[in-house]
Every structure is written in C-alpha cells, then in structure tokens.
Amino acid sequence: MTDGQLAVIGLGSIGSMALWRASRSSASVVGFEAASPAHPRSAVGGDTRLFRMTYRGEGNYYPVLQVAQNLWRELEQESGQSVLTQCGGLSIGETDGSYIPALLESIKRTGAPHEVLDRDEMERRYPQHRLGAGECGIFDPEAGFLRTDRAVLSAVEAARSHGATVRSGTPVREIRESPTGVQIVTDTETSEFERVIVASGGWSRALLPPSLQSHVQPKRIYLTWFPARHPEEFSPERFPIYIRITGERSLYGAPTIDGASVKATLDGRGQPTADADGVDRALSAAEIAESEETVAEFLPGLIPSIVRSDAFPDLYTSDSTPLVGFVPGSQRTYLATGFSGAGFKMASAFGAIAASEALGRPSGVEGLDFVRPGRFV
C-alpha cells in the first residue's frame, strides 16, 4: 500500500499546474510545498510574466504554447479569476540585427500570427517606444501577460476542490526509489507514492540525480519598475508587452497594472547564485545605472528612476531548455524543472504534460524530445 498515487514537490509555477491537472484524474495526489504556494521569494514573485507565441530559437515550443493558451483560459473558467490578459506583444530591434531576423525565421517555422511594423508604423501606433534608424517592430496579437500569484493560487484551489491534498511548510529533503514505490522524506515523516514530480524550481538541484546536477544552476533574475509620466499611455489597451534588443542594449516589460508604474527590465541578466534562498534582492549601482540609462533612451514617457525593484531565483540548465520527463532509467521520478528564465508562459501546459506522463498516460503533445532529461546522460 502506498500513501498516494502521485506526489508533487513544489507548488510554484509548474507544480501548482501539475497538481491541478493530476487532481482531475487521480483521487490521491499530494502536493508538498516548502513554504506556501505562490510565495513571493519563488519564481512566482513580481506580479506578472510575459506570454507570447512568437519566440526566437530552435525549441519546438509552439505546440506547447498553444496548449498553454487553452489551459490558461480553462483555469480562468474554473476559478472565475482573470489570469491571462492578451493585450498583444511587440518585439523590437534592428531589421538586420541579431534579434529580428532570428525571430522571423522561427515565426516562419511555426506559422505564428504576426505583423511586421516599420519604424513609421511603430511611431504611429506605439509612440511610447523611441526607435532608432533601421529598427522595426513585430506585433504578436496573441501575446500578453499572466498574473502569476493569481494563476498559482487558482490552480492550487482548483486542485483542492478536486480532492488533492496540499502540505504547505513541508520541505522534501530526499527522494528514495524502492522496488514498490518512491519514498518522500520530510523533516517529520517518510511517505510512499507510486510516482513523484519534482517541480521545485531554483531549489531542484539537490533532488536531482548526480548525473544531472552538473547541468543545472540556480540564477538570480531581477525586475525593475519605473513611474509613467502619463500612466494612461501605458495601460494594457494602449501598451502591449514588449521585448527590445538593440545592439548591446535590451529591455522588456509589461503595461501598468497599478495605474502608476511600468515594468521595464534589462533582458538576459540572470546571474549564477550559490542557492535559491541566497538571492540578493538589492540591485548593484551598475545594474541601477544601466537600467535607468536604457529606459531614458527607449521609453521617454517613463521617468528614468527606479520606483520598485526585486530579484527572484530560477533554475537554468546548461542548454537553457527545461527538464521535462522521467529521470533516465527511472519510471517513478519525473522532472519538471530547469525552466531557465522562460517557463511561466508554458507552466499550464508543462504542468499538464507532467501530470499525464507521470500518471502513465500520453500527454497528447508531440515533439518533446528536446526537453527530455535523457539528452544530458
């Protein structure tokens, strides 16, 4: 006899979604969370995450993003909460630089809906962005932003209503596979399940097999917000989410959700940290100076003085691609971690994929070889 069919370790972005999806088909699912679901020192912190269907790079994420979009809507229906605001999204850069041609190449492969906006059209539609000569924008009509804590808490509540058990304040210290199941060791007890999903984000390394530990690294990612001179110009109706990469400079962000401040953060600044609890929340003088200079140059409608900042952990893999699938050689321990600074938009889908596969069913999503942990072994 086991204590349940499935244990989910970590009820953050991915684990909350896995618990929700698993609870719909299994009567004995238990979520272990070291702190509390959606706690603000996890990768859920910072209010919002960008959602977009257009992306640069090789990974076959498009089918996953299609599933994710549908599941965010399903979560909204089930919870009555607004989770995803599809206000559109802009990718901005030099027409012949490193970003826009690579993005268009990937769009050609996926067929994602998009519009190319030249500099004049950008100026007409989105005067909040100051573009340089030779720059353009790509508009993604399905992009937008996710309300992170709302999404995670909604998923956990939905899971509870389907009968899942939630153990907050219960860090898992060890996972031990036995011939009959997998033992989950906490400070106070050891329980046994048929399968386990490891979704403990920046803290996952200690729960991974040694063969994978050297391929992951927790990193600190910071966020900055700036006050708007005229906040109505930065509302979701007028100001889509954006990612801009111009030469060595970069900035991404979202419209105002508090009617005063706008998220505007330097892109690609993840820094290795010894452990996820040790993330330094304070920004260095250099980080502040570069952020303020970039905002002054790119978004003249913002006052270039940081009004809020914070930093959070995420687990990166050595190829910046997540680990989703069974540990090589195991049929009991399933990994859903290593989302490398880009996982929230897909959390609903990868949570659902993890739940199905860990319960021994096909996920219905094809072409996932690129995320399987076996690629490192």
The residues of the shown chain that bind ligand FAD, judged by CB under 6 A, are 9-15, 32-35, 39, 42-44, 46, 49-50, 171-172, 199-203, 221, 223, 312, 314, 337, 339, 341-345
Per DSSP bridges, beta strands 249-254 and 261-265 are antiparallel
Closer by beta carbon to ligand FAD, 7 or else 107:
7
At closest approach, how far in Å is the CB of 343 from ligand FAD? Answer: 3
**Which residue has the closest beta carbon to ligand FAD?**
12
| 53: number of Cβ within 10 Å | 24
Minimum Å gap between C-beta 342 and ligand FAD is 5
Closer residue to ligand FAD in complex, CB, 132/184: 184
Residues 323, 338 contacting (CB under 8 angstroms): yes
Which helix (H) or strand (E) is 65 found in, with range? Answer: helix 62-79
Shortest distance (Å) from residue 133 CB to ligand FAD: 29
- By C-beta, is 120 or 185 nearer to ligand FAD? 185
Q: Which is nearer to ligand FAD, 132 or 205 (CB)?
A: 205
Q: Which residue, 50 or 103, has its beta carbon nearer to ligand FAD?
A: 50
Cα 156 from Cα 165, distance rounded (Å):
10
Query: Six-digit token pair at 368?
Result: 């996932």
Indicate the residue among 97 and 171 with the shorter CB distance to ligand FAD: 171
Give me the least distance between CB of 110 and ligand FAD, in Å please: 16
Alpha carbons 284 and 173: distance in angstroms, whole number: 33
Min. distance of Cβ 14 from ligand FAD in angstroms?
4
Taking every pair of Cα atoms in the chain, the longest distance, rounded to a whole number of angstroms, is: 68
- CB-side neighbour CA atoms (13 Å) of 275: 4
Beta-bridge partners for 326: 334
The residues facing 228 across adjacent strands are 302
Nearest-approach distance from CB 152 to ligand FAD, in angstroms:
7
Distance CA 166, CA 31 (A): 5
Q: Report helix, strand or coil for 56.
A: coil
Smallest gap from residue 51 Cβ to ligand FAD (A): 7
Give 234 or 344: the residue with its C-beta nearer to ligand FAD: 344
Q: Do residues 343 and 207 make contact, with C-beta atoms less than 8 angstroms apart?
A: no
